[in-house]
Structure 1
Amino acid sequence: MSDHLTFQLGDFTTQGGATLRGAHLAYTTYGELNADKSNVIVYPTWYSGRHWDNEWLIGPGMALDPAEYFIIVPNMLGNGLSTSPSNTPPPYDRARFPDITVYDQIEAQHKLVTEEFGIERIALVTGWSMGAGQTFQWAVSYPEMVERIAPFCGSPRTSLHNKVFLEGVKAALTADAVYNGGWYDAEKWPTTGLRALARVYAGWGFSQAFYWRFGPPLHHSVTRLVRSVHSWERQLSPQQLGRVLYLLRRPEGSSLDRHDLSNSPERSRGESPRLIRERTSMGEGVREAPLYRPRAPGRRWGPGAEFA
C-alpha cells in the first residue's frame, strides 16, 4: 500500500510570495470514490511522516475503512516525496527552499482534491499531530467544502512550550558541524547531530506520564526508555534527514513553529474558532498529564474559544 501517485501543481506560489516552478504533490488513495462523490476523507501526513505512516488507521473494519470511504492521503510539501529541498532545482534547492506554511499545504491539497478528482464536498478531514494542524486549516480555508473535521493530538496554534521544544531539538541537530547551515554534502550526512536529535526527541515524543505508567520496578521503565531512544534513532534515519532538517531549519521558517490559524488570509481572528467548532465531529479526548498541551483553567477549543 506504499506506492504513491504524483499530482502536478504547476507553478505554485507560496503565502510568502515565492514561486516553486513545476511543483508536485505526492499522494495515494484508498477505496473507491462513489458516484455522487460523497464518501471523501482527506487524511494529511504528520511531521516528517509519509503516506504509509498513516496506514495504521486505514483498513477493513477500522475507523477509515476503504470499503466505505475514498481516503486521500496527501504528502506534505517538504516531506521528501512532494516538492522538497532535496528534489527542487535551483534557485530553491536545499537551504534556499522557501518557507511553506500550513496554509500553503492546504492550498496545494485543495488543488489536488478539486482538479484531479472534481470533488466539491469532503465528508471528513482528519489528521494526527501536524496532520491535525492541517485538519484545522482545511476547516478555516474551505468551510463551505468541509462537512466535519476530526483532528487528534494537535492544535490550531502551536503553543509557546512546543516552540521551545522544537528549538531544543533543532539545536541538537544543527550543532553538528557537518550540517553547515543546511549546505551539507549529499554524500556526507550530519549523522552525529541526527542521533543527538533522536535522543532528545525520545524525551519529548512521549510524555512523562508515558514513562510513569511502566514503573515500578524501575528496571522495566529504564529498559523501555532505552528502547524508545533506539526507536527514535531508527525512525529518524539518514533517509528522513532532509525533511526533518527543512521542517526544523529556523524558527521563523518552520511550518510547525509558525502555525496559527488566526493568520489565515480572509479570516478574522474571531471567525476561525467558529468555523472549527461548527465542523468538529468529536470532542477533545481525555488526556492524563499531556506534555505539550496540559489542561489549564479557562483554556479550551470548544464554545467561546479564541486564539489569544
Structure 2
Amino acid sequence: MTGLATFEAGDVTLQSGVVLPDVKLVYRTHGQLNAARDNAILYPTHYMGNHDSNAWAIAPGMALDPQKYFIIIPNMLGNGVSSSPSNTPAPFDGPRFPLVTVRDNVLLQHRLVTEVFGISTLQLVLGHSMGALQTFQWGALFPDMVQRIAPFCGAARVSRHNWLFLEGAKCALMADAAFAGGDYAAPPVAGIRAFARVYAGWAWSQTFFRQQLDRERLGLPSMEDFLQLAWEPFFQTHDANNLLAMLATWQAADISADPRFDGDFARALAAITAKAFVMPCRSDLYFPPEDSEIEVGHMPHAQLRVIPSVWGHMAGGGMNPEDMMFINTALAELLAH
C-alpha cells in the first residue's frame, strides 16, 4: 500500500456546464504498475466511503492481489477527501457546491488513469454501491479500455424507489433548523442523527433483524445500541453538505445520461462489452436482484451472480466473511478469463 496522492485536475467543466475550479482527485494505490502498464484495476469508492473503505478486498492471495495487480482507489468527489463542499473555497463552498454526476467522476478518473499513469487498458473496474454506479458508467463510456467489470450491490442507474428513499433521508437532515440552508456555524447534529436513523432501516434486510444478527454478529444488545453505538457515530463523522452532495450524485445516477446514448438505457447497457459479473445481494433493499437481472439482459457479456446473503446492502461492505468470500471467489473467476 502506498501513501495518498492527489491528481491536480485544474478547472473541470461538469456535466451541468458549471466550471469547478482547481479540482483535486485524491487516490490511493496498492501494488506496482508493470512495465507494460496492463495490470491495472480501478476500484472507486462508495457513499460515505474513502480510499481505505475498499481495503478489505485487497491482500496477497486474494483476487485483488497487490503482488500481481496495480489497484487504484479514487475518492469520489464530495466525500470530503477529493474536492467537496467542505474543502472547496467560495464561490462553490458548502451548499453552493455544484451537482457532480457519476459521469463527471468517471471522466475525471479516466484523466487520472491516462494522464498520470499512461494506462490504456484496465483489467477490471469494480465497486460497491455508488462504486458500482461508477463501474457501470466506466463500462459504458470506455468499452475499448475496460476488459472486465464487477459491480456489486449497485445498479446502472438510480431506481425510482431508491431515489425516494434517498429523498426521505435528505429531507430529515435538512429539517434541522441548525442546518441553516447549508450555511451552518456548527454541525447540524440533530439533522445528521435523523438522517442516520432514516438510513438505518435500509442498509440491512428484514431477515437480518428477524434473526437478530445485530445482536449475534454485531454484538449490540438492543436496537437503540445499534443506532447510538454503531450507526449514528459513523454519520456524525461526515460533513452535512458532503452527505448531501454525494446523495445528489446518487440521485442523478444514470449511465444513459450521456450524449452518445441520449437517455436510451438499454443502448447504454448494450455498449458495455466488457466481461461482467453483476452481483446484487438477494436481500438488498436499495438495489434488488430484479433490477440487476434487467440490466444483465441488455449486456452482451454479462452474468448475474446473486450474493446469497441476508446482510442486505451491507453484503458488499466487507463486514460478513461469507459475503466477502463469495465476492472474492467471483472476482478470481472473472480475472482468470
TM-score by length of 2: 0.81
Distance 2:144 2:2 in 1: 31
Which letter maps to 2:245?
Y
Structure 2 residue ranges without an equivalent (≥5): 301-337
Q: What aligned pairs does 1:132-151 form with structure 2 within 5 A after superposition?
A: 132-151=132-151
In 1: Cα distance, 2:222 partner to 2:115 partner: 47
1:154-192 CA-to-partner distances (Å, cap 9, x unmatched) read 00010111111101111221111010111112xx11011
| Structure 2 residue aligned with 1:251 | none
- Cα deviations across residues 267-304 of structure 1 (Å, max 9, x unaligned)? 3524311123x32432445x444312335599522234
Task: Give the C-alpha shift of residue 64 in structure 1.
Answer: 1.2
Aligned residue number for residue 187 of structure 2: 189
Change (3 A) 1:206 1:65: same
Q: Which has the larger displacement, 125-134 or 135-144?
A: 135-144
What's 1:83 paired with?
A: 83
Q: Report the Cα offset of residue 3 of structure 1.
A: 4.0
Q: 3-state SS of the aligned residue for 1:29?
A: strand
CA separation of 1:58 and 1:224: change in aligned 2, threshold 3 A: farther
Residue 209 (structure 1) aligned with residue 207 (structure 2): yes
The one-letter code of the counterpart of 1:266 is: R
Offset at residue 228 of structure 1 (A): 3.2
Give, in whole Å, the separation in 1 of the partners of 2:244 and 2:189: 12
Alpha-carbon deviation of 1:197? 1.4
Q: Does residue 1:237 correspond to 2:236, yes or no? A: yes
Amino acid at match of 1:133: L
| Aligned-residue offset at 1:206 | 1.1
What pairs with 1:125-136 in structure 2 (closer than 5 Å)? 125-136=125-136
Equivalent in the alignment of 1:176: 176
Look up the match of 2:277: 282
Secondary structure at the aligned position of 1:51 is classed as: coil
What secondary structure sits across from 1:158 in the alignment?
coil
Q: Does 1:96 align with 2:96?
A: yes
What's 1:54 paired with?
54
How many equivalent pairs are there? 296
SS at match of 1:236: helix
Out of 252, 258, 275, the residue aligned to residue 258 of structure 1 is: 252
Which residue of structure 2 aligns with residue 107 of structure 1? Answer: 107
Q: Decide whether the 8 Å contact of 1:211 with 1:225 is kept in 2.
A: no
Distance 1:24 1:37 in 2: 24
Aligned-residue sequence identity (percent) comes to 45
Paired position in structure 1 for 2:329: none
Within the alignment, does 1:29 sit opposite 2:24 as a pair? no
- Equivalent residue for 1:225, pick from 196, 206, 223: 223
Tell me the secondary structure at the aligned position of residue 47 of structure 1: coil
Tell me the residue number matched to 1:11.
11
Distance 1:133 1:109 in 2: 14
Choose 192-201 or 37-46, whichever is displaced more.
192-201
**Counterpart for residue 273 of structure 1:** 269
- Structure 2 match to 1:291: 285
Q: RMSD of aligned C-alpha atoms?
A: 2.6
Q: How far apart in 2 are the matches of 1:3 and 1:241?
A: 27
CA contact (8 A) 2:220 2:226 kept: no
* Alpha-carbon distance, 1:48 to partner: 1.5
Normalising to structure 1: TM-score of the pair? 0.88
Give a deviation string over 1:24-79, Cα, whole Å, max 9, x none.
Answer: 10001000001111110000000111101111111112221111100000001111
Q: Residues of 2 paired with 1:304 and 1:91: CA distance?
A: 42
